[in-house]
A and B are shown apart, each in its own frame.
Chain A
């Protein structure tokens, strides 16, 4: 594994390896000294062309817990606003001596471009590109699900996948890189995925995706999902009339208090509610649901640090150097 650009080309073995390593990384977060010396002397650059709270802080915490040095770059207030190209920015980072680049970009495919060109040698981690993919979010969701269901069944989570788990992904699928990354990874790990959205918020290609599609949230909840993943309604990407108004969306596709009660009525005691954040409380998820005991929103955030530590550790230790040497002969 040289880069982490997408979950589509992530093998089952690699995915489970990342989750297993994350399990040990999570244990570090509970210790008094929350630091490992594994990446001492390495530099990780957080290259953020798009706003982010959770992901950037999470990657920063992950790199720092592994003792790496972190350079945070935000497009706002940088030379990008003077018109500097991605190539020149990348070459600048190369000259500074970045050992890994974590990139979030508004353009789908920007991380792949960075990885495919010789602008920079460092491993590239996709931290969300346009409406394409957000692989570490999918990994942390899978980690959260795996842990919760292992605990609920009273088994260990190490080495296991998500076989047989039923996951409903609800909301703005059209613009969601989280939904795409989750779909590929959940399928790789053996889970069944149902996409629930108004037809206007489903991409044309969704018909060929390996998932079932349901336009009715109540119907999808009655089917007994093991987890419900609510997506943010991405107001900044709403450039057309996708639904009549926010109140109608909330009534039909929002996870409100009535649907929270419906989970109990269906006897789904262990069903989790996930949300990648930031939440629009009252729109796609009610405060009652977001703050309920079913909500794993804060677990997702703390698990995110562990998963990103695992990814940085795997990309920056051993393997990569070795393959470089091998190709040099």
Chain B
């Protein structure tokens, strides 16, 4: 939910300079790989919690949890997924428009002593993740915090890196990376899954 894609809801028409860089199938394959990387890094699903950052990090976390559950039978995907809202922890509250926060829902087991994997769609400046780390500190004390993102577009402004990346996308700061997921985005009434780069229109 980094700057750029957060305000975008649904749009049927795209500016001419938009190009699709990941199709729905590409997204699926990237998430499958990330799911297996997470299991491998964690040596199983012990103590694993996936926290999605609204808006599109949460459906991504759900999709990854589904894949983890199918790779490791006996795992309940709903029991390891949560949503972490970071609105109140942003460092630009004074200057951007007031945002309506989304709910924060933690899995029943909480996050104390757990291995928390933060999930977001685009990693850009790193400020969202900084805010997420602060939000986590107010909610509990995980044993480990890791970061999984669908797209890393570079241009970091803070010393933050992702542990699991779906796709590294070199971009210019003038471009916008739009992630569209069928759970929240539609085009012509149909769910839309893609990652597109839009030039400055």
Interfacial residues, chain A to chain B (CB-CB below 8 A): 17, 20-21, 23-24, 27, 31-33, 35-38, 66, 313-314, 317-319, 321-322
A24 touches B94 (CB 8 A): no
Contact of B103 among A27, A35, A319, A321 (CB under 8 A): A27
Residues of B in contact (CB 8 Å), total 19
Interface string of B138-169 (1 = CB under 8 A from A): 11100000000000000000000000000000
* Residue of B85, B98, B139 with most partner-chain A CB within 10 A: B98
Cβ of B134 under 8 Å from chain A: yes
| Chain A neighbourhood of B140, CB < 8 A | 32
Check B102 for interface membership: any CB of A closer than 8 A: yes
Which residues of chain B from 73 to 121 have a CB within 8 Å of any chain A CB? 85, 88-89, 93-104
| A36 contact from B89, B97, B98, B99, Cβ within 8 A | B89
Q: In the complex, what distance in Å separates the CA atom of A21 from the CA atom of B104?
A: 12
B100 lies within 8 A of A38 (CB): no
Beyond A24-B102, A24-B104, A27-B104, is A38–B97 a contact (Cβ under 8 Å)? no
Closest 7 CB pairs of A and B: A318-B98, A36-B88, A33-B138, A24-B101, A38-B88, A317-B93, A318-B97
Bound-state Cα–Cα, A27 to B138, Å: 13
Show 15 residue pairs from A and B whose CB-CB distance is below 8 angstroms, ordered by the A residue: A17-B100, A21-B101, A24-B103, A31-B138, A31-B139, A32-B140, A33-B139, A37-B89, A66-B88, A313-B88, A317-B94, A317-B98, A318-B98, A319-B97, A321-B94
Q: CA of A21 to CA of B94 in the docked complex: distance in angstroms?
A: 17
Residues of A within 8 A of B99 (CB): 318
Contact among A35, A66, A318, A321 for B138, CB-based, below 8 A: A35
Within the complex, the shortest CB–CB distance from A304 to chain B, in Å, comes to 19
Q: Measured between alpha carbons, how far is A322 from B89 in the docked complex, in Å?
A: 19
A313 to B93, CA, bound (A): 9
The reply to whether A38 and B93 form a contact with Cβ atoms under 8 Å apart is yes
A31 CA to B103 CA, complexed, in Å: 13
Q: How far is the CA of A23 from the CA of B138 in the complex (A)?
A: 18
Least CB distance, B132 to chain A, in whole angstroms: 13
Residues on B with beta carbons closer than 8 Å to the beta carbon of A318: 93-99
Residues of A near B139 (CB, < 8 A) are 31-33
Q: In the complex, are the beta carbons of A20 and B97 less than 8 A apart?
A: no
CA distance in complex: A32, B138 (Å): 8
How far, in whole Å, are A31 and B84 apart by their CA atoms in the complex?
14
In the bound assembly, the distance between CA atoms of A21 and B98 in angstroms comes to 11
